[in-house]
Amino acid sequence: MQGDWTLANYRRLQTQMTAMQTNGAELLSFSGLTALDTAGAALLVELIGVARAQQVAQHGDELTPAWRSLLATVAQALNQPETPTPAATSCTGDVLAGIGSTMLDLYANAIALLGFTGLCLQALATSLVHPSRWRLTAVVAQIEQTCLNAVPIVALLTFMVGAVVAFLGATVLADFGASIYTVDLVAFSFLREFGVLLTAILMAGRTASAFTAQIGSMKANEEIDAIRALGLDPMALLVLPRLLALLVAMPALTFIAMLSGMLGGALVCALSLQISPAMFLSLLQQDVSVRHFLVGIAKAPIFAFVIALIGCLEGFKVSGSAQSVGSHTTSSVVQSIFLVIVIDALAALFYMEMGW
């Protein structure tokens, strides 16, 4: 092997490689080599093989140290395994793969939610045993944000929905001469379902997203790591005040939603059906028992617990980027609304079977 094995002589060297291979690459001598660059080293590796090139790079006394280093580097680079060609996929396979991936994500989220629920219950039990650890100031501040600041939007929304329900009931029931039962329709719908469900959906969109954004921003700024470094428990410091505040806020807001919805229905009844407020209250007292109120208000703490857990859990899942904060905030709202509706449907089936 003689001459310059460089890029300038690349084509000529390629034509010589066939003759060299027939003469036996293992018997080649490197004493006549005068120049070597990366292109020439690649041709040498192709000619004598990766294993032989690595041996020459280690023990080739005929090569300078720089050439041996270059030959070893090129041999190592050309020794990388080939990337397997991806198998051809079909539309059906992609759909099934997507379904499988979604199911695995749902399973992982369910396991994470159950584990986080256990941590919250453990922190709550520890706080109950040690009253000195209660953070009343934080709880009161969260109650102000989650309850008092949400009263206007909850009252306005349920008032308008109550008016719409009463208007639809009056329109439909008038064909049967039963317009008087519009009072029962509004009362039953808001005491049992609409009051607590609309409030829970509003809290999922308003409060769960706020919890996720707040805790997520702290996670991104490494403030939660600083809390742990100070020997404090993030569950007791961040999660429990929000959880307890929402457990107080949801029943109160649900009660306000029930009153506002029935007030909107009473207004429509007074304007469209000539049912006076006194008659509305009389029919309400006569036909609707307290049981329906208790059935509706009993779901409020359950919804509050679920919304607070999901909002805080998604906040702890945030990584160190603004995009992660946004995606987990969206995820917390979607998960909260979905679980609220599922739990409400299961509760309705349970109440129906129990005859409540």
63-90: pLDDT as tens digits: 777 877 887 888 888 776 666 666 666 7
Which residue from 186, 224, 182 is spatially nearest to 318, judged by alpha carbons? 224
pLDDT at position 63: 74
Gap between the Cα atoms of 106 and 250, Å rounded: 27
Q: Which residues neighbour 158 within 8 Å (Cβ) at sequence distance 6 or greater?
A: 190, 194, 195, 198, 199, 256, 257, 258, 260, 261, 264
126-174: pLDDT as tens digits: 888 887 778 888 899 999 989 999 999 999 999 999 999 999 888 888 8
210-236: average pLDDT: 88
Which one has a higher pLDDT value, 300 or 69? 300
Q: Provide the 3-class DSSP secondary structure of residue 277.
A: helix
pLDDT at position 8: 77
Secondary structure of 3-65 in HEC code, one letter for each residue: EEECHHHHHHHHHHHHHHHHHCHHHCCCCEEEEECHHHHHHHHHHHCHHHHHHHHHHCCCCCH
Q: Please, are residues 210 and 169 in contact by the beta-carbon 8 Å criterion?
A: no
Q: Rg of the chain over CA atoms, in angstroms?
A: 36
* Angle ∠(284,287,289) on CA atoms, nearest 5: 85
**Residue 170 CB coordination number (10 Å):** 23
Gap between the Cα atoms of 42 and 57, Å rounded: 13
Cα 202 to chain center, whole Å? 18
Which of 86-90, 224-228, 291-295 has the least mean pLDDT?
A: 86-90
Give me the residue spans of the domains in the chain: 2-78, 101-354
Model-level pTM greater than 0.75?
no
Whether residue 342 has pLDDT greater than 90: yes
Whether residue 26 has pLDDT greater than 60: no
